[in-house]
Structure 1
Amino acid sequence: MSDYRRPRVPGACIFFTVALEQRGTTLLVDHIEALREAVRATRRERLFGIDAWVVLPDHLHCVWQLPEGDTDYSLRWRLIKARFSRTLPKGTLRPSHIDRRERGIWQRRFWEHHIRNGQDWRELVSYCWMNPVKHGFVEKPEDWPFSSYRP
């Protein structure tokens, strides 16, 4: 069993990558309103700022700003993932999903990077917005409808 530890920096600005368990699907964009509602409901309960967000068919990237004194981004992701997952029909679950009370939709972990400075922030916000271009979905970031990018 791994001993996975995440940094706990109050009020941190953090870049995230969160992916579906089954890559190559279009689940996130097919159910974008359910994802948006899961994020809205979580933000109502556990405030956080969004500096950038992009949703691709099977993963997403975002930059969050946690409130001063707050370090619990893992709880926020757990709530977002659970709320979104409950809106989808149940599929075939492996025993490990059942044991952990999971729906088998999301990868168990997510990748996070605590932003160090303004240059780091600019690069990661740009990374979010340019990701649909990188993946060949659009030619310009403003053409991707599932992004916080606004020219």
Structure 2
Amino acid sequence: MPNYRRRYGEGGTFAFTVCLADRRQTTLTDNIGIMREAYRATCRDAPFRTLAICVLPNHLHAVWTLPEGDADYSRRWRSFKLRVTHAIGRRVWQPRYWEHTIRDGGDLANHVNYVHYNPVKHGHAENMDDWPHSSWHRWKRSNAWSPPPEDMPL
């Protein structure tokens, strides 16, 4: 087993991929109400800012910014995954998840775009507007997303 180390940055911005234990299942979109409530409760208990999120049938992607002085995204993911598991009543998740520390504005733009385009990439939708479980709709409505400058520190 590899010696895996996570990189933590207090108040940093991170991109995540969290997957089902059985990638053939469609548990996440089949239980979208449970997913949403677990996510809200997790954010309420340990606040963070969601810059982008997309829930697909068997995995999800998210980009978070943590509060200054807080580097504990692991606790948040553990809490979220436990809430979903308890609500569904069976093992749901792979034990680990993938994370990436966002380095600058260009990296942030690339990851937000990746998150929003993922349903199209996987053939779940013809375009981003067609996938209902994505923050793309919020960005589009508010016209809030314009990529920050490449050299913008986060």
Judge same fold: TM > 0.5, yes or no.
yes
Q: Percent identity?
A: 49
Alignment partner, residue 145 of structure 1: 132
For residues 59-70 of structure 1, the aligned pairs below 5 Å read 59-70=59-70
CA-to-aligned-CA distance 1:55-76 (integer Å, 9 cap, x gap): 0000000100000010000000
Contiguous gaps of at least 5 residues in structure 1: 91-103
CA distance in 1, matches of 2:19, 2:124: 17
CA distance in 1, matches of 2:126, 2:4: 38
CA distance in 2, matches of 1:29, 1:81: 15
The equivalent position to 2:110 in structure 1, one of 110, 114, 123, is 123
Alignment partner, residue 25 of structure 1: 25
CA distance in 1, matches of 2:129, 2:6: 33
Q: CA deviation at 1:54?
A: 0.2
Amino acid in the other structure paired with 2:22: Q
Amino acid in the other structure paired with 1:109: R
Alignment partner, residue 47 of structure 1: 47
CA-to-aligned-CA distance 1:23-53 (integer Å, 9 cap, x gap): 0211000001101111111111100000000
Contiguous gaps of at least 5 residues in structure 2: 141-154
For residues 86-101 of structure 1, the aligned pairs below 5 Å read 86-90=86-90
TM-score of the superposition, structure 2-length normalised?
0.86
CA distance in 2, matches of 1:65, 1:89: 30
CA distance in 2, matches of 1:5, 1:89: 30
Amino acid in the other structure paired with 1:45: D
Whether 1:79 and 2:79 are equivalent positions in the alignment is yes
CA distance in 1, matches of 2:114, 2:85: 26
Stretches of 4+ aligned residues off by more than 2 angstroms: 1-4
CA distance in 2, matches of 1:41, 1:121: 25
Whether 1:134 and 2:121 are equivalent positions in the alignment is yes
CA distance in 2, matches of 1:23, 1:107: 9
User: How many residue pairs were aligned?
Assistant: 138
Q: CA deviation at 1:2?
A: 4.5
CA distance in 2, matches of 1:2, 1:15: 21
Alignment partner, residue 4 of structure 1: 4
TM-score of the superposition, structure 1-length normalised?
0.88
Q: CA deviation at 1:89?
A: 2.9
CA distance in 2, matches of 1:109, 1:66: 19
Question: RMSD between aligned alpha carbons?
Answer: 1.0
